[in-house]
Amino acid sequence: MVTTSTQQLRKPLGLNGEMFRRALFDSFVKLNPWSMARNPVMFVVEVGSVLTLALWIQALLGSGEAPAWYIGFVSLWLWFTVLFANFSEALAEGRGKAQAEALRRSRRDTTAKRLHSPKRSSTFDVVASPQLQKGDAFLVEPGDIISADGEVIEGIASVDESAITGESAPVIRESGGDRSAVTGGTRVLSDWLIIRVTAEPGGGFLDRMIHLIEGAKRQKTPNEIALNILLAAFTIIFLIVCMTLLPFSLFSVEVAGHGAPVTVTVLVALLVCLIPTTIGGLLSAIGIAGMDRMIRHNVIATSGRAIEAAGDVDVLLLDKTGTITLGNRMATEFTPAPGISKERLADAAQLASLADETPEGRSIVILAKEKYGLRGREIHEIAAHFVPFSAQTRMSGADIQPEGKNGKRIIRKGASDAMKAYIEQQGGVFPAAVQQAVQEISRVGATPLVVAENKEVLGVIHLKDIVKGGIKERFAHLRKMGIKTVMITGDNPLTATAIAAEAGVDDFLAEAKPEDKLKLIRDYQKGGRLVAMTGDGTNDAPALAQADVAVAMNTGTQSAREAANMIDLDSNPTKLMEIVEIGKQLLMTRGTLTTFSIANDVAKYFAIIPAAFATTYPVLNMLNIMKLATPESAILSAVIFNALIIVALIPLALKGVKYRPVSAVQLLRRHLLIYGVGGVIAPFIGIKLIDMLMVAMKLI
């Protein structure tokens, strides 16, 4: 039994020897000119490599334009340039492939107990999971992996869905109702289930994930297309620059009266050095790696386009509950009615909440204990009858028979309007001061709970939404990045205002209905903004479909997951912020490497131009500011540097440029300094070092 499934996603596969070997092999497979033609820059390099190879053979046969060893050496490094670029792409693809492979293996290796009829007593065959057809029924028992997506038709069991959701607590799955859907790849911990297969073979959730990991990488994103156009333009210009250099050189030899025209080998070398091979070679790896980073954050994007759009998002719609606030309200204060002591109120509130297992209830017990030293009494210590919350009464509480005393204590707590009706019905009075306190608490965005004993109102419990720690700082970061945060809540505007102010969001939508959400997204989009949101319910689906970046929680309904363009396996609503960062990283990595690549050209000119015309105009050696040893060593150093820099930058391409939450101007300054100015300087040093090394090794 293979226990692995999507767990593979959770622990990123490190680069291992196997992946390197496979990438090496793929680098050669990718030399196929048909696939190379997708990348104009590297295609030109491959053509140049073939051309110099032919020139080398010609030289070997004795009629070369330059010594055979020299042409051969140049050709070899041009081939390396192509292979290095292919290698980076293959390596980036390798991770995704390995992940998909692991997932697929888990599908292949599991077996299913296919029932002859959908009854527990029926006999079954053991078949391989992929053989299950839609409509088949199968049995799962403790320890079994559920083989396919399906619906529980009989039984109740606890299921470990951590492979898909990341949530380690087991969930209950049972026939009928909301909890009847099971996902292939999850594991039954106790009891048994009979499941009817609802997905066609290969159409299950896991299959779609495999497909996404493998398939989405080959589509070019809009920004990548635009960049490719620019790179193609540079390539064409430099192609013309190098091609026209031959007639220029012929003419120069003619007027100078001595020297030899520039060789085709040198022209090809110059061309390859000038065209943006660094970015051209790594472009595809950057895109694939971006996808991969999403996967490692447990987010599956349906397309690279969605990741790119994430970097551009200017509005984040965030659900209040679970994203901005902790899911539960907590009691923070007791406000007694006139003439009632705080202790009495706290005591009654605690008693009323002892049996209340909701987080709100527990927080009341804890508050009473912490603030007024009331120990948490165990339920059995007191003779009490607990009244649970019901939708009819909208109250909960306890009826207590105190020892040695007559008369019951009937304690109730509930929403103020329900309590008011309850008190007045008994002939009691709902004090104005309490009414005022209720309003006061509502106004600051909290929830009031009124506590009463018999027909006497004791006071109000202050239940507060707790804003998550550190969230305000994150919103401030987002604001600095130019991203506006909008809180979506079902609360009334009063409550919403208070929480919005506390959390530091830019705006909020109160009393939000699903159609309000959709309208809000449309309005923002009409204003030219890109909107991101998370959602999980079926009623979120229209808004998810409308949003530019829509992240569905993996725990969400099927329709939500289909409407979204990303699925968060962790079902963590704050993940949206990381998604934005990954999107930005992707664009930044492309931008920095493009700048670096073009900036490199300056030094390469200084290496190659004096060398190319050394025989015609020896005086041009004054441009040889790097003092490279010979014309041959100069050209070789430039070509070798050009090839090696691709390898050197593979880690950056795969990891991405580090994201920093600073303003656009600061980011531009930083990146221009490192990759622009650095890109001008680095090759001067690199080329000189390679030249010195070649001289030291007596290669030249």
Could you list the active site residues?
A: 319
**Interface pick for other proteins out of 5, 592, 624, 633 (rule CB under 8 A):** 592
Residue 224: CB partners within 8 Å, gap ≥ 6?
A: 283, 287, 304, 308, 590
Tokens of 622: 């004054």
Of 175-234, which residues contact other proteins (CB under 8 A)? 222-223, 225-227, 229-230, 232-233
Tokens of 190: 């106790």
Cβ nearer to other proteins, comparing 196 with 671: 671
| Side chain identity, residue 519 | K
Residue 578 contacts other proteins per CB under 8 A? no
Nearest to 316 by CA among 65, 666, 551, 641: 551
Write the DSSP string, 64-124. Answer: -SS-HHHHHHHHHHHHHHHHHHHHHHHHHHHHHHHHHHHHHHHHHH-EEEEESSSSTTS-E
Report the nearest approach of other proteins to the CB of residue 286 (Å): 11
Q: Phi and psi for 249 in degrees, rounded to 5?
A: -70, -40
Report the nearest approach of other proteins to the CB of residue 611 (Å): 11
Report the nearest approach of other proteins to the CB of residue 216 (Å): 19
Of 281-310, which residues contact other proteins (CB under 8 A)? 308
Segments in 391-538 forming alpha helices (H): 416-425, 432-443, 471-480, 493-503, 514-526
Tokens of 362: 């527990």
Q: Phi and psi for 504 in degrees, rounded to 5?
A: 80, 30
Cβ nearer to other proteins, comparing 266 with 411: 266
**Interface pick for other proteins out of 24, 241, 415, 629 (rule CB under 8 A):** 241
**Interface pick for other proteins out of 299, 365, 567, 599 (rule CB under 8 A):** 599
Site string for other proteins, 308-327 (x = CB under 8 A): x--xx-x-------------
Residue 278 contacts other proteins per CB under 8 A? no
**Interface pick for other proteins out of 61, 391, 622, 697 (rule CB under 8 A):** 622
Strand-pair category, 447-453 with 409-414 = antiparallel
**Interface pick for other proteins out of 613, 632, 641, 652 (rule CB under 8 A):** 613
Largest CA distance in the chain: 127
Residue 38 contacts other proteins per CB under 8 A? no
**Interface pick for other proteins out of 75, 585, 624, 633 (rule CB under 8 A):** 585
Handedness of CA 628, 629, 631, 635 (dihedral sign): negative
Classify residue 27 by its DSSP letter: H
Classify residue 199 by its DSSP letter: S
Cβ nearer to other proteins, comparing 142 with 247: 247
Handedness of CA 379, 385, 391, 393 (dihedral sign): negative
- Binding segment for other proteins (CB under 8 A), chosen from 81-89, 432-440, 486-494, 521-529, is 521-529
Give the number of other Cβ atoms within 10 Å of residue 141's Cβ.
13
Report the nearest approach of other proteins to the CB of residue 82 (Å): 23
Ramachandran region, residue 264 (left: φ > 0; alpha: ψ -120 to 50; beta: rest): alpha
What does the alpha-carbon distance between residue 441 and residue 439 come to, in Å, rounded to a whole number?
A: 5
Cβ nearer to other proteins, comparing 9 with 301: 301
Of 635-664, which residues contact other proteins (CB under 8 A)? 659, 663-664
Strand-pair category, 299-301 with 181-182 = unpaired
Handedness of CA 139, 145, 151, 156 (dihedral sign): positive
Report the nearest approach of other proteins to the CB of residue 527 (Å): 6
Of 431-490, which residues contact other proteins (CB under 8 A)? 479-484
Cβ nearer to other proteins, comparing 16 with 663: 663
* Cα angle for residues 344, 346, 348 (degrees, 5° grid): 70
Of 248-267, which residues contact other proteins (CB under 8 A)? 248-252, 255-256
Tokens of 619: 């005086």
Tokens of 457: 């109102």
Write the DSSP string, 525-568. Answer: HHTT--EEEEE-SGGGHHHHHHSSEEEEETTS-HHHHHH-SEEE
Report the nearest approach of other proteins to the CB of residue 579 (Å): 13
Residue 605 contacts other proteins per CB under 8 A? yes
Count, residues near other proteins per rule CB under 8 A: 78
Of 524-553, which residues contact other proteins (CB under 8 A)? 526-529
Cβ nearer to other proteins, comparing 246 with 644: 246
Residue 126 contacts other proteins per CB under 8 A? no
Cβ nearer to other proteins, comparing 240 with 429: 240
Report the nearest approach of other proteins to the CB of residue 275 (Å): 11
Residue 43 contacts other proteins per CB under 8 A? no
Report the nearest approach of other proteins to the CB of residue 39 (Å): 16
**Interface pick for other proteins out of 671, 683, 687, 691 (rule CB under 8 A):** 671
Report the nearest approach of other proteins to the CB of residue 565 (Å): 16
Report the nearest approach of other proteins to the CB of residue 532 (Å): 13
Q: Phi and psi for 505 in degrees, rounded to 5?
A: -80, 160
| Side chain identity, residue 306 | A
**Interface pick for other proteins out of 72, 414, 583, 686 (rule CB under 8 A):** 583
Residue 625 contacts other proteins per CB under 8 A? no
**Interface pick for other proteins out of 139, 274, 503, 694 (rule CB under 8 A):** 274
Cβ nearer to other proteins, comparing 135 with 527: 527
